[in-house]
């Protein structure tokens, strides 16, 4: 296909933001200034992620009070927040992630208040609001370990869960990360085909066993990363310590663990007292009150930073005491929940003011040996989108019906042959039809449930539409 088509889809699937200028005002005219992107958010030495499987309610009743501070349900102890800093003196509470399955093996939704011990949908929204992330753990936790699995079962388990979480949460939560139940590796290929960005699996043969080094740009698509069961290291910090010990001399690693319900040993869980002690020791050693070398964040947040680091570009302009950083953000994917980048400023001269565009959030530390600027573009909106070429102006919306659709779409386009492509909401091409004749129905029955983008081209004409596929 031509440049027109690729440009048109760029407009659908990336941030149309460009030329965002930040000004750093130094106290004196600097002799030299160099700016680099931190390998990890807040310029930390290593990242640590913790996931809680299966959507049990102790994420709210037990884990959240330990992390944010407060009282655990049924426990009169008031816990002090466990925190690290943003490198600029601001404390940030520990956060985790939820590997979520909507239903039990009978297909019954277990998050509507009918299943004691399980999170409700509103509680999941609350966790999401606190900065936690949610990962696709299949609709009903079916796997080869518990069921005879057909090809369609794998597709349904993945797609039904994505649709349920999107529809039943006020936040319309998206889940770009997939965690197969019972380490069923047959899910891996299906997860990538349905648009998931990463898969995490506990088999030790996968990359990232004992920590994934993230210094160089790595292939961030269709990657399976190892995750460590916390229950295998109940009494010691030795695995996390090993990650911290090798995250020196410019090396940075990402280590992640998972567990299940507190005090449920048969279900692969963790004793609460041991857990609380473990987390306190982690905070004391590597958090705000310790070396402050650790970034403790959910899997998705760490992954999103790596994407931002690889897709954010900028140029520097010098104007006496001011350094103007001109950002090119057009390659940043729109599906990112967070669009944050940390800059390390190398200069012997301090700065005391940073000016950013409206809607961009900034924290900074302008003195000392290591000077930092944390920029959050998540809520910034472009008022003047930039066209990549004049041809993008020809990209128009078309009507499709029925929408939602089950079997076939009718398209309101002029006569002749068209080239048609369908992309899932993660931006991956899932179907293609060359020389599609106008007036014919477009078969979409083979698609899984979900949201899709349709892109059509005929000569220099380009059209787009969005449709929902249902069963």
Q: What is the pLDDT of residues 428-470, one digit of tens each?
A: 677 878 778 877 888 888 888 778 888 888 877 788 888 888 8
- How does pLDDT run across 128-141, given as a tens digit for each residue? 999 999 999 999 99
Q: Which CATH superfamily is domain 3-12+386-469 in?
A: Penicillin-binding protein Tp47, domain D (2.60.40.1270)
Q: For residue 12, count other CB atoms closer than 10 A to its CB.
A: 16
Decide if pLDDT at 9 tops 50: no
Report the pLDDT value the prediction gives residue 266, as an integer from 0 to 100. Answer: 46
Same topology between domain 3-12+386-469 and domain 46-291? no
Report the pLDDT value the prediction gives residue 10, as an integer from 0 to 100. Answer: 29
CATH 3.40.50.1700 fits 46-291, yes or no: no
Q: Is it true that the peptide bond before 44 is cis, omega within 30 degrees of 0? A: no
- Work out the percent of the chain whose per-residue pLDDT is above 90: 62
Q: Strands 228-229, 253-259: parallel, antiparallel or unpaired by DSSP?
A: parallel
Decide if pLDDT at 394 tops 60: no
The gap from C-alpha 115 to its chain's centroid, in whole angstroms, comes to 29
Decide if pLDDT at 4 tops 60: no
Q: Is the dihedral of CA 31, 35, 39, 41 positive or negative?
A: positive
Report the pLDDT value the prediction gives residue 233, as an integer from 0 to 100. Answer: 54
Sequence-ordered list of residues with C-beta below 8 angstroms from that of 146, at least 6 positions apart, any chain: 105, 182
Report the pLDDT value the prediction gives residue 425, as an integer from 0 to 100. Answer: 64
Report the pLDDT value the prediction gives residue 231, as an integer from 0 to 100. Answer: 67
| Contact status, residue 41 vs residue 340, Cβ threshold 8 Å | yes
Strand partners, 258: 51, 229
Domain limits, the chain: 3-12+386-469, 46-291
DSSP state letter for 430: E
Decide if pLDDT at 383 tops 70: no
The beta strand positions in 340-449, using DSSP E, are 340-346, 351-355, 361-365, 371-376, 395-397, 400-401, 408-411, 417-424, 429-437, 442-443
- Helices and strands in the chain: count of H runs, count of E runs: 9, 30
CA atoms of 397 and 347, how far apart (whole Å) = 49
Which of 401 and 377 is assigned the larger pLDDT?
Answer: 377
Q: Strands 212-213, 253-259: parallel, antiparallel or unpaired by DSSP?
A: antiparallel
- Work out the percent of the chain whose per-residue pLDDT is above 70: 89
CA atoms of 157 and 249, how far apart (whole Å) = 44
Of the candidates 130, 117, 220, 213, the residue with the CA atom closest to the CA atom of residue 177: 220
Rounded average pLDDT over 193-222: 91
Instruction: Name the band, by pLDDT with cuts 50, 70 and 90, for residue 384.
Output: very low
- How does pLDDT run across 280-337, given as a tens digit for each residue? 999 999 999 999 999 999 999 999 999 999 999 999 988 889 999 999 888 888 889 9
Report the pLDDT value the prediction gives residue 2, as an integer from 0 to 100. Answer: 30
Which of 13 and 270 is assigned the larger pLDDT?
Answer: 270
Report the pLDDT value the prediction gives residue 391, as an integer from 0 to 100. Answer: 33
Which pTM value belongs to this model?
A: 0.79
Sequence-ordered list of residues with C-beta below 8 angstroms from that of 58, at least 6 positions apart, any chain: 52, 117, 261, 262
CA atoms of 347 and 26, how far apart (whole Å) = 10
Choice among 22-26, 154-158, 391-395, 402-406 with the minimum mean pLDDT: 391-395
Decide if pLDDT at 226 tops 60: yes
Q: Is it true that the peptide bond before 402 is cis, omega within 30 degrees of 0? A: yes
- How does pLDDT run across 30-42, given as a tens digit for each residue? 988 999 999 999 9
Rounded average pLDDT over 8-27: 58
């Amino acid at each position: 296909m031509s440049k027109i088509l690729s440009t048109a889809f760029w407009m659908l699937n990336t941030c149309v933001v460009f030329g965002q200028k930040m000004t750093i005002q130094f106290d004196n005219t600097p002799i030299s200034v160099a700016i680099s992107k931190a390998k990890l958010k807040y310029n930390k030495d290593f990242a640590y992620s913790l996931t809680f499987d299966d959507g049990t309610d102790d994420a709210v009743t037990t884990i959240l009070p330990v992390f944010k501070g407060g009282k655990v349900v049924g426990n009169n102890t008031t816990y002090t927040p466990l925190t690290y800093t943003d490198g600029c003196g601001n404390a940030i509470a520990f956060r985790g992630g939820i590997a979520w399955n909507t239903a039990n093996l009978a297909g019954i939704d277990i998050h509507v208040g009918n299943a004691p011990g399980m999170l409700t949908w509103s509680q999941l929204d609350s966790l999401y609001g606190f900065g936690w992330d949610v990962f696709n753990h299949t609709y009903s936790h079916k796997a080869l370990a518990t069921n005879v699995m057909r090809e369609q079962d794998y597709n349904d388990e993945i797609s039904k869960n994505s649709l349920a979480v999107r529809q039943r949460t006020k936040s319309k939560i998206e889940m770009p990360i997939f965690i197969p139940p019972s380490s069923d590796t047959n899910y891996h290929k299906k997860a990538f085909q349905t648009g998931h960005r990463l898969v995490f699996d506990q088999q030790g043969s996968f990359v990232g066993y004992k920590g994934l080094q993230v210094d160089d740009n790595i292939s961030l698509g269709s990657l399976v990363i190892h995750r460590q069961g916390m229950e295998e290291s109940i009494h010691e910090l030795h695995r996390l310590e090993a990650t911290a010990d090798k995250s020196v001399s410019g090396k940075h690693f990402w280590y992640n663990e998972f567990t299940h319900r507190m005090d449920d040993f048969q279900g692969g869980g963790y004793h609460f007292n041991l857990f609380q002690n473990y987390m306190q020791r982690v905070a004391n050693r590597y958090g705000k009150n310790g070396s402050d070398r650790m970034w403790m964040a959910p899997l998705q947040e760490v992954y999103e930073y790596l994407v931002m680091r690889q897709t954010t570009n900028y140029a520097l302009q010098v104007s006496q005491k001011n350094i103007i950083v001109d950002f090119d953000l057009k390659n940043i994917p729109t599906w990112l929940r967070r669009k944050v980048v940390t800059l390390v400023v190398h200069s012997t001269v301090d700065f005391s003011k940073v000016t950013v565009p409206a809607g961009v959030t900034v924290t900074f530390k302008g003195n000392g040996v290591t000077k930092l600027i944390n920029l959050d573009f998540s809520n910034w909106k472009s008022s003047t989108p930039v066209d990549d070429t004049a041809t993008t102006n020809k990209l128009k919306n078309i009507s499709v019906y029925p929408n939602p659709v089950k079997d076939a779409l009718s398209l309101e386009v002029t006569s002749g042959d068209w080239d048609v492509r369908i992309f899932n909401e993660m931006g991956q091409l899932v179907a293609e039809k060359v020389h599609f004749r106008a007036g014919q129905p477009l078969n979409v029955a083979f698609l899984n449930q979900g949201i899709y983008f349709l892109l059509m081209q005929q000569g220099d004409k380009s059209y787009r539409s969005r449709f929902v596929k249902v069963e």
